[in-house]
Each structure stands twice: as C-alpha cells, then as structure tokens.
Structure 1
Amino acid sequence: MCGRYATTTNPATLAVELDALDETGDTGFSPNYNVAPTNQVLTVVQRHDREHLEDPATLRVRAMRWGLIPPWTKTAEPGVPVKGKPLFNARADKAATTASFRDAVKKRRCLVPMDGWYEWVTEPGGTGKAVKHPFFMSEADGGRLYMAGLWSVWRDRDQGDAAQTLLSCTILTTDAVGELTKVHDRMPLPMPREHWDAWLDPDHPAPEELLETPAAAAVSNILIRPVPMLVNSVKNNGPELLSEVDEQAGQQISLI
C-alpha cells in the first residue's frame, strides 16, 4: 500500500534530467513532504505529439490528481466529477481486469517519481490505546524512486468540445518483498529504468511480467527508518518530517 509519500523534485529539473518535456504549466509545484491522495503530483508519461502523430513518442512530465478518476465517472455538477473513494492505489495483479483500471493498463501507464514513501506499524500504547509509528522507505543512496502508475483523462461529456480535461493517476502496488515485509504486506511497484520504454510505450501493451511482484533484490537498496509522528497528520509538511528520531525517547519502535 502507498497512501502517503514525499517528493522534493522540481518539475523543470526533473524534465531536464529525463530529457523530457515539462507540461506542468503554472501549477506552482514546491517540495511536498507529506503527499496525500487528491493532491496534485508529478508523473512521467510517454506520448505522441498531437500535431505529429507519426513522430516517435517522447517523455513528458505532467501534473495529475493523485486518485484516478475513470473516464466514465458521472458529474456532480458541471465540470466536476462525482466524489468517491480516491483510487490512489491499484493492485498490479488485478488492475488489468478491474473496470476502473483496465483501459489505463492498456494504453495509459506512467511513472510516479518520489523521494520515498511512508508506512505505519501499529502497536499498543502505554495506556492500551494503539499507537501508529511511521516509517519512511527510500533509496539508501538518496536517489529518486520511480513507481509504476496508471493515469486517466476525465471530461464532462455534457460540455462537449468545451470540456476541460482532468488528469488523474494511481500508484500500482504489489506484495511486499524482502525487508519491506516487516513494515507492511504491500508496497508500491518499483519500475527499473531498463523497463521504462516497455512500460511507458503508448502504442503497445506492457509485458505482463512488468506487473508481477519483483524479486527481493529489486528493493534491496531500500532503507527503512523511523520518522517523527508529525507525519501522521496531513496538516504537517516540511523537511522536519524526515528528520532523525531518537528511538531511546520512546517515540518510535524498531523493526525486528
């Protein structure tokens, strides 16, 4: 499962690093240490130029709502989709046969860049009340992670050609492997660089093996560490959420 993560990259910088087009526009992205469902997030897609469809597809950095909105979603009011449970995660093993995701699996796959993601381990507190201890999973060398995602385009059909498009995405999850099983039984599905071309290809289905649970070696460089309980509230946002925690102070637990 992945319901909260951190990303500090700038879209323009990301586009330069990936040799991609920055299509985020004036969305005003800034570092977000507590990304939550329905937030605007950065994604990487590969698409053809609408004016030159015969040209090769190119990488593009786009802003999308985290929580996929299927194209067939009805309107609550003009230009606004009906609110429902945010589809911020999709099971990789079932997405191809799930109505909300199957079209996206065929032709709208993306990457979701992040510094790392949060999970919580629940234990009884001193008063008997359960306490949620947050942990942050990130590359040990501080590198950026890219998770497999799906995206969708929603339009208010009643508005015809005048309808504005709403881009939204979801992060694929799979069974946790390796040391990550100590934190949660699910994890976001990492997409190694060598598989990007096949995963993002808008003209062909992705190889089925890319949706399979990876070997433990794929996450062997992931560092798991406790972080302050400040992250438990989405109202908190800043680098202090990733600061070191004094486990001796009794604020956190260690994974055994």
Structure 2
Amino acid sequence: MCGRYATTTDPGRLAVELDAIDETDGDGRAGTSGYANYNVAPTTQVLTVVERHDREHPDDDPVLRIRRMRWGLVPVWTKVAEPGVPVKGKPLFNARADKAATTASFRDAVKYRRCLVPMDGWYEWLVEPDALDGAKGKAAKQPYFMANADGSRLYMAGLWSVWRDRSLPESSPLLSCTILTTDAVGELTAIHDRMPLPMPREHWDAWLDPDHPAPDELLRTPEPESVAGIVARPVSPLVNSVKNNGPELLAKVDGSAPKAGQMRLL
C-alpha cells in the first residue's frame, strides 16, 4: 500500500520539465519549505499530472496539465453532507490496480480519468519481531523510505474524480485522486507485499489519454526490472506523526534494508 510519501516537486518547475500547463496558480503550498512535503498523508492537497482537452477548444489535442487534488478519491456519486461538502466515507487513497476497473468507486476513472502522482519516494512500516517498542511493549515498527537510488523523481499511476454539489451550480468542483497499488516485486517484497504502481515514461501517452480506456497491460503487476533502481533505507520513527515534516525524515538511520522473508510484513 501507499499511505505516506514525500515530494519536493515545485509545480512551476515540473510544468517546464514536462512541457505542461501549471494550473495550480501557485496555491496550496504544503510542508515546511516551499512546496516540499516530507510527510504527505491522505486528505492532503497533492500534485498530479493529467492530460485534458481545452474546454473552449475541445477539438484541439489534449495537453499535459499540473493540478492539485485531494489525496483520497471522492466518487462522483457521493452524497452531500452539507452545502458544498461531500459525505465522509472510506478514505480511498489507494486502489488495487487489479480490481479498479470493476470496483464502483474507480471503474469510471479507469476509463477516462487517469493521472500521474509525482513523488520522491514513499514510506512503509515493518514489524521487527525481535525488537520491542518500550512505550507500548509491542513489537517495534520500523519505517522505511523507498526511492530511486539516483534521486530521480518517481511517477505513480493514479485515478482522479470530479465531485460537485449539484444543488450549488456555482460552487467550485472538488478534484480528488487515489494512487494505484500492485503486488510488490523484486527486492521490495522484503518491505511490504504491496507497492504503488510505477508508470514508466514510455507508457504515459496511453495511460493519460483522456479519450480512450487504459490498455489492460498497464494495470498488471510490473516486472521486477521496473523497480530495480529503487532502494529502501530505514528512517526515523519521526515520520510516524504527520506533525513532523522536514528533510530529516528522509535521513537513513542505523540498520540495513532487510532481505526477503527476513521480517514479518505489517
């Protein structure tokens, strides 16, 4: 699964790199240093990459756009709790890639509203059977940070939705997203049995195409080679609290990445 991640992506710079339109208007800054957020949690406003047509010129080719969305998808059919506010439901911050196309909350998005979620890396927690949490007397949970060894940005497959309060036609739409997950592969199986679904650059055109459903193969578990550049490092338990948010969360602590089967999965 993917319930926390880190990003230091500046939307303006990202738009230049991808030749995309920055639709964030420089708002929604997160974290403690500019656009950096070292402890992204569900319900946070996060950066996404979509490909859409221009509303005023729908016949023009679609273009890449950088948008902010709430992390935790709100299906279009969600009821209204109060004017302009959707009813709180299960936090849909992850979606299983192998089931999304047949799940009511995600199947429409799989067809025509797919996105990329840029990140520096993501966190997972392991239970260490031989270590105890002194405060609780339970097996300790060691957080790990998974990222490209060369420090390059990761792009994970996501889905998005637009929710509106139909009784308030002038209200702003709520954009929200979820990150697709798949079976872990390669050495990442030592950390967790699930992982975010990476989307290689060569598949972006097909994945982001707003006019056609995604090819089935893009939702399948990738080959181990696709994550060969990703390494895991143990990091400080400071990440356990969303109140902590700084580059120190990414610093490696004493210990080494476990081997497959060495530790029990959380």
1:76-115 aligned within 5 A = 76-115=81-120
Cα deviations across residues 86-110 of structure 1 (Å, max 9, x unaligned)? 1000000000000000000000000
1:9 matched to which residue of 2? Answer: 9
Residue 195 of structure 1 is matched in structure 2 by 203
Residue identity matched to 1:106: K
Q: In 2, distance between residues paired with 1:68 and 1:246?
A: 37
- SS of 1:245 mapped into structure 2: coil
The answer for the alignment partner of 1:250 in structure 2 is: none
Matched, 1:243 2:248: no
Q: Distance in 2 between matches of 1:146 and 1:254?
A: 23
Question: AA paired with 2:253?
Answer: V
Other-structure match for 1:58: 63
Does 2:173 correspond to 1:170? no
The one-letter amino acid paired with 1:4 is R
* Residue of structure 1 in register with 2:258 after alignment: 255
Equivalents in 1 of 2:38, 2:171: separation in Å?
Answer: 33
Stretches of structure 2 that go unaligned for 5 or more consecutive residues are 30-34, 260-266
Query: 95-104 vs 18-27, which deviates more?
Result: 18-27
Q: Of the candidates 214, 220, 223, which is equivalent to residue 231 of structure 2?
A: 223
Within 2, Cα distance between the matches of 1:241 and 1:50?
A: 41
Alignment partner, residue 139 of structure 2: 130
Q: Which residue of 2 aligns with 1:145?
A: 154
What's the counterpart of residue 117 of structure 1? 122
Alignment-mate amino acid for residue 164 of structure 2: R
| Aligned-residue RMSD, C-alpha | 1.1
Deviation at 1:244, TM superposition (A): 2.4
Per the TM alignment, residue 85 of structure 1 is displaced from its structure 2 partner at its CA by: 2.0
Q: Distance in 2 between matches of 1:61 and 1:33?
A: 20
Contact persistence 2:49–2:66 (CA under 8 A): yes
Aligned-partner SS, 2:167: helix
Aligned residue for 2:225, secondary structure, equals helix
Which consecutive unaligned segments of at least 5 residues does structure 1 have?
248-252
Q: Which moved more, 1:60-69 or 1:238-247?
A: 238-247
CA contact (8 A) 2:234 2:254 kept: no
Q: Distance in 1 between matches of 2:28 and 2:75?
A: 26
Higher relative helix content: 1
Amino acid at match of 2:9: T
Inter-partner Cα distance in structure 1 for 2:257 and 2:147: 17
Moved more, 8-17 or 127-136: 127-136
Deviation of 1:254 (Å): 4.1
Q: Secondary structure of the residue that 1:33 maps to in structure 2?
A: strand
The number of equivalent residue pairs is 250
Structure 2 distance, partners of 1:145, 1:91, is 19
Quote the Cα distance in structure 2 between the aligned partners of 1:90 and 1:150. 8
Cα shift at 1:163 = 2.6
